[in-house]
Amino acid sequence: MVSIIIRILGNALALYAAVWLVPGVAVLGGIEQYILAGVVLGLLNTAVKPVLKLLSMPLIILTLGLFAIVINALMIWATDYLVDFVVIQDVTALVWATIVISIVNVIISIFAKIAD
Protein backbone atom coordinates (compact mmCIF):
# COMPACT_ATOMS: atom_id res chain seq x y z
CA MET A 1 0.00 0.00 0.00
CA VAL A 2 2.81 2.38 0.84
CA SER A 3 4.56 1.66 -2.45
CA ILE A 4 1.39 2.54 -4.40
CA ILE A 5 1.18 5.91 -2.67
CA ILE A 6 4.89 6.47 -3.28
CA ARG A 7 4.43 5.67 -6.98
CA ILE A 8 1.45 8.03 -7.33
CA LEU A 9 3.31 10.82 -5.60
CA GLY A 10 6.38 9.93 -7.67
CA ASN A 11 4.42 10.26 -10.90
CA ALA A 12 3.05 13.59 -9.70
CA LEU A 13 6.58 14.72 -8.80
CA ALA A 14 7.88 13.51 -12.17
CA LEU A 15 5.20 15.51 -13.97
CA TYR A 16 6.10 18.54 -11.88
CA ALA A 17 9.77 18.11 -12.82
CA ALA A 18 8.80 17.83 -16.50
CA VAL A 19 6.70 20.99 -16.28
CA TRP A 20 9.55 22.78 -14.55
CA LEU A 21 12.32 21.61 -16.90
CA VAL A 22 10.67 21.16 -20.30
CA PRO A 23 9.18 24.09 -22.20
CA GLY A 24 5.95 23.06 -23.88
CA VAL A 25 4.69 20.88 -21.02
CA ALA A 26 2.09 22.27 -18.63
CA VAL A 27 -0.31 21.04 -15.99
CA LEU A 28 -3.11 23.54 -15.58
CA GLY A 29 -4.13 23.72 -11.96
CA GLY A 30 -2.71 22.97 -8.57
CA ILE A 31 -1.50 20.00 -6.61
CA GLU A 32 -4.81 18.16 -7.02
CA GLN A 33 -4.32 18.09 -10.79
CA TYR A 34 -0.76 16.84 -10.42
CA ILE A 35 -1.92 14.01 -8.15
CA LEU A 36 -4.81 13.11 -10.46
CA ALA A 37 -2.47 13.09 -13.45
CA GLY A 38 -0.08 10.93 -11.41
CA VAL A 39 -2.92 8.48 -10.72
CA VAL A 40 -3.83 8.33 -14.43
CA LEU A 41 -0.20 7.84 -15.45
CA GLY A 42 0.21 5.18 -12.78
CA LEU A 43 -2.89 3.32 -13.94
CA LEU A 44 -1.69 3.43 -17.55
CA ASN A 45 1.74 2.18 -16.49
CA THR A 46 0.14 -0.63 -14.51
CA ALA A 47 -2.58 -1.75 -16.93
CA VAL A 48 -1.56 -0.82 -20.48
CA LYS A 49 2.23 -0.68 -20.47
CA PRO A 50 2.84 -4.40 -19.76
CA VAL A 51 0.55 -5.37 -22.63
CA LEU A 52 2.34 -3.00 -25.00
CA LYS A 53 5.71 -4.31 -23.86
CA LEU A 54 4.61 -7.88 -24.42
CA LEU A 55 3.27 -7.14 -27.90
CA SER A 56 6.35 -5.16 -28.90
CA MET A 57 8.93 -7.49 -27.34
CA PRO A 58 10.56 -8.27 -30.71
CA LEU A 59 11.07 -4.54 -31.36
CA ILE A 60 12.43 -4.01 -27.87
CA ILE A 61 14.92 -6.83 -28.37
CA LEU A 62 15.83 -5.67 -31.88
CA THR A 63 16.51 -2.10 -30.70
CA LEU A 64 18.30 -3.24 -27.54
CA GLY A 65 15.63 -1.71 -25.31
CA LEU A 66 15.33 1.68 -26.99
CA PHE A 67 11.77 0.97 -28.10
CA ALA A 68 10.80 1.04 -24.41
CA ILE A 69 11.30 4.82 -24.59
CA VAL A 70 8.65 4.94 -27.31
CA ILE A 71 6.29 2.99 -25.06
CA ASN A 72 6.97 5.43 -22.20
CA ALA A 73 6.23 8.32 -24.57
CA LEU A 74 2.96 6.66 -25.55
CA MET A 75 1.95 6.42 -21.89
CA ILE A 76 2.66 10.12 -21.36
CA TRP A 77 0.86 11.03 -24.57
CA ALA A 78 -2.14 8.95 -23.44
CA THR A 79 -2.15 10.85 -20.14
CA ASP A 80 -2.17 14.10 -22.11
CA TYR A 81 -5.05 12.77 -24.22
CA LEU A 82 -7.13 11.46 -21.30
CA VAL A 83 -6.67 14.36 -18.90
CA ASP A 84 -7.66 17.83 -20.11
CA PHE A 85 -5.40 19.78 -17.78
CA VAL A 86 -2.16 18.12 -18.91
CA VAL A 87 -0.86 19.90 -22.01
CA ILE A 88 2.06 18.75 -24.16
CA GLN A 89 2.48 21.09 -27.11
CA ASP A 90 4.67 19.17 -29.55
CA VAL A 91 6.70 16.03 -30.13
CA THR A 92 9.94 17.60 -28.91
CA ALA A 93 8.33 18.46 -25.59
CA LEU A 94 6.95 14.91 -25.41
CA VAL A 95 10.40 13.39 -25.96
CA TRP A 96 12.07 15.56 -23.32
CA ALA A 97 9.20 15.06 -20.88
CA THR A 98 9.54 11.30 -21.38
CA ILE A 99 13.22 11.44 -20.54
CA VAL A 100 12.67 13.59 -17.43
CA ILE A 101 9.73 11.51 -16.18
CA SER A 102 11.63 8.27 -16.76
CA ILE A 103 14.65 9.47 -14.79
CA VAL A 104 12.52 10.69 -11.89
CA ASN A 105 10.51 7.44 -11.89
CA VAL A 106 13.69 5.37 -11.71
CA ILE A 107 14.77 7.33 -8.65
CA ILE A 108 11.30 7.01 -7.09
CA SER A 109 11.18 3.27 -7.76
CA ILE A 110 14.41 2.86 -5.80
CA PHE A 111 12.73 4.55 -2.84
CA ALA A 112 9.59 2.44 -3.31
CA LYS A 113 11.65 -0.76 -3.12
CA ILE A 114 13.33 0.49 0.04
CA ALA A 115 9.89 1.23 1.59
CA ASP A 116 8.68 -2.34 0.98
DSSP state of 37: H
Q: Per residue in 18-56, pLDDT tens?
A: 999 999 999 999 999 999 999 999 999 889 999 999 999
Q: Per residue in 54-97, pLDDT tens?
A: 999 999 999 999 999 999 999 999 999 999 999 999 999 999 99
Tell me what pLDDT residue 110 has: 85
Tell me what pLDDT residue 115 has: 67
For residues 113 and 34, the model is more confident at 34
| Beta-bridge mates of residue 63 | none
Tell me what pLDDT residue 5 has: 84
Residue closest to 99 by CA, chosen among 21, 33, 34, 47: 21
